[in-house]
Amino acid sequence: MRRLVHFLLGGLPTTPAGTRALAATMADWRHETAKGGSLPNRLRGNAVGMWSVVRVLAVVSLKELPGAWTAVGNLVRRLLPAHSR
Protein backbone atom coordinates (compact mmCIF):
# COMPACT_ATOMS: atom_id res chain seq x y z
CA MET A 1 0.00 0.00 0.00
CA ARG A 2 2.75 2.43 0.95
CA ARG A 3 4.65 1.74 -2.28
CA LEU A 4 1.59 2.49 -4.39
CA VAL A 5 0.92 5.75 -2.53
CA HIS A 6 4.59 6.72 -2.86
CA PHE A 7 4.47 5.99 -6.61
CA LEU A 8 1.29 8.05 -7.09
CA LEU A 9 2.59 10.97 -5.06
CA GLY A 10 5.80 10.99 -7.09
CA GLY A 11 3.84 11.99 -10.19
CA LEU A 12 2.29 15.10 -8.67
CA PRO A 13 3.48 18.49 -9.92
CA THR A 14 4.53 20.06 -6.62
CA THR A 15 7.10 22.63 -5.61
CA PRO A 16 10.23 21.49 -3.77
CA ALA A 17 8.58 22.44 -0.46
CA GLY A 18 5.54 20.28 -1.25
CA THR A 19 7.76 17.41 -2.32
CA ARG A 20 9.73 17.62 0.95
CA ALA A 21 6.53 17.67 3.01
CA LEU A 22 5.20 14.59 1.24
CA ALA A 23 8.55 12.79 1.51
CA ALA A 24 8.76 13.51 5.25
CA THR A 25 5.21 12.24 5.73
CA MET A 26 6.03 9.04 3.86
CA ALA A 27 9.13 8.58 6.04
CA ASP A 28 7.02 9.06 9.18
CA TRP A 29 4.54 6.48 7.89
CA ARG A 30 7.37 4.01 7.31
CA HIS A 31 8.69 4.66 10.82
CA GLU A 32 5.25 4.26 12.47
CA THR A 33 4.65 0.96 10.70
CA ALA A 34 8.14 -0.39 11.45
CA LYS A 35 7.96 0.25 15.19
CA GLY A 36 4.72 -1.70 15.60
CA GLY A 37 5.51 -5.34 16.39
CA SER A 38 2.07 -6.89 16.48
CA LEU A 39 -0.52 -6.91 13.72
CA PRO A 40 -2.84 -4.41 15.49
CA ASN A 41 0.07 -2.00 16.00
CA ARG A 42 1.11 -2.29 12.35
CA LEU A 43 -2.50 -1.71 11.23
CA ARG A 44 -2.66 1.33 13.49
CA GLY A 45 0.62 2.61 12.02
CA ASN A 46 -0.73 2.18 8.50
CA ALA A 47 -3.99 3.95 9.35
CA VAL A 48 -2.18 6.87 10.98
CA GLY A 49 0.29 7.06 8.11
CA MET A 50 -2.41 7.04 5.45
CA TRP A 51 -4.40 9.73 7.27
CA SER A 52 -1.24 11.85 7.54
CA VAL A 53 -0.66 11.59 3.80
CA VAL A 54 -4.24 12.69 3.13
CA ARG A 55 -3.85 15.72 5.43
CA VAL A 56 -0.51 16.79 3.93
CA LEU A 57 -1.81 16.26 0.40
CA ALA A 58 -4.82 18.48 1.17
CA VAL A 59 -2.60 21.26 2.52
CA VAL A 60 -0.12 21.00 -0.35
CA SER A 61 -2.90 21.02 -2.94
CA LEU A 62 -4.60 24.01 -1.33
CA LYS A 63 -1.32 25.90 -1.36
CA GLU A 64 0.00 24.85 -4.75
CA LEU A 65 -3.03 23.94 -6.85
CA PRO A 66 -5.76 26.54 -6.20
CA GLY A 67 -7.01 26.23 -9.77
CA ALA A 68 -7.73 22.55 -9.24
CA TRP A 69 -10.01 23.31 -6.28
CA THR A 70 -11.85 25.91 -8.34
CA ALA A 71 -12.40 23.33 -11.07
CA VAL A 72 -13.75 20.82 -8.53
CA GLY A 73 -16.14 23.44 -7.15
CA ASN A 74 -17.38 24.28 -10.64
CA LEU A 75 -17.93 20.60 -11.39
CA VAL A 76 -19.92 20.10 -8.19
CA ARG A 77 -22.08 23.11 -8.98
CA ARG A 78 -22.80 21.72 -12.45
CA LEU A 79 -23.74 18.32 -11.05
CA LEU A 80 -26.15 19.70 -8.45
CA PRO A 81 -29.75 20.10 -9.58
CA ALA A 82 -30.72 23.70 -10.32
CA HIS A 83 -33.41 23.78 -7.61
CA SER A 84 -30.92 22.98 -4.83
CA ARG A 85 -28.84 26.11 -5.40
Q: Burial code of 31-45, b = ≥16 C-beta within 10 A, e = fewer?
A: ebbeeeeeeeeeeeb
Helix, strand, coil % (nearest 5) of the chain? 85, 0, 15
Q: What confidence category does residue 3 fall into, taking pLDDT thresholds of 50, 70 and 90? A: confident
Handedness of CA 81, 67, 16, 63 (dihedral sign): negative
pLDDT band at 67 (very low <50, low <70, confident <90, very high): low
- Check residue 77 and give its pLDDT: 77
Res. 15 pLDDT band, cuts 50 70 90: confident
Domain ranges of the chain: 2-84
**What does pTM read for this prediction?**
0.65
Q: How far is CA 19 from CA 34, 62, 63, in A?
A: 23, 14, 12
More confident residue, 82 or 25: 25
